[in-house]
Chain A
């Protein structure tokens, strides 16, 4: 089955800085890579996703890049704001297999 590794487990940045979270996956057949944000006490919600026929996708301050050859994908958040503080999960495969999560803390 699929195996997803996510790093770092914790990321602390100052407001306005950029944040990057990286994931690797094992199954070369995977072709859907979503990212979810989970605020404290809430349910995970999709923030952006990418499919294997695309190398990069942007939505305002967030972007995701995918390198299928190396089997890794990354989430980039620019101009971070305190409301970006949350746990972020990457996933791969049509039956979502999740990484262990990254706790992002944005200091005002």
Chain B
């Protein structure tokens, strides 16, 4: 299917475990983003990528790692999950600077 998809949709993990959230887009968009959404904080940027093999930190990068070896994939890894990382995570992509961002369905992550 064309578009941007995230997996899994829901995830429960234990404190200290490593977990990876997947993001795949079929448009060959250059830019990809990871946001977390928490009540009262809106959407906060974790990491972004302007192209394959180019990534940069956003507002809240601590505890997260990203990679982008292929244009279409942008996985987000929590190296050692903490309860404060319980959130809804959205991946997004856009074709260029200053253009619409298209969001995935989101992943609801709970760290217990």
Contact = CB atoms under 8 A, between A and B. Distances in A.
Contacts, number: 46
B43 interface: yes
Interface residues of B, number: 23
B108 to A, nearest CB: 10
Interface stretch (B12-20, B77-85, B95-103): B95-103
Interface in B84-109: 90, 92, 97-101, 103-106
Nearest to B90: A43
Interface in B29-54: 31, 33, 35, 40-45, 48
A97 B45 contact: yes
B41 A46 contact: no
A31 B104 contact: no
A8 interface: no
Contacts of B92: 96
B43 A89 contact: yes
B103 A45 contact: yes
Interface of A: 1, 6, 31-32, 34, 43-46, 49, 51, 89, 94-101
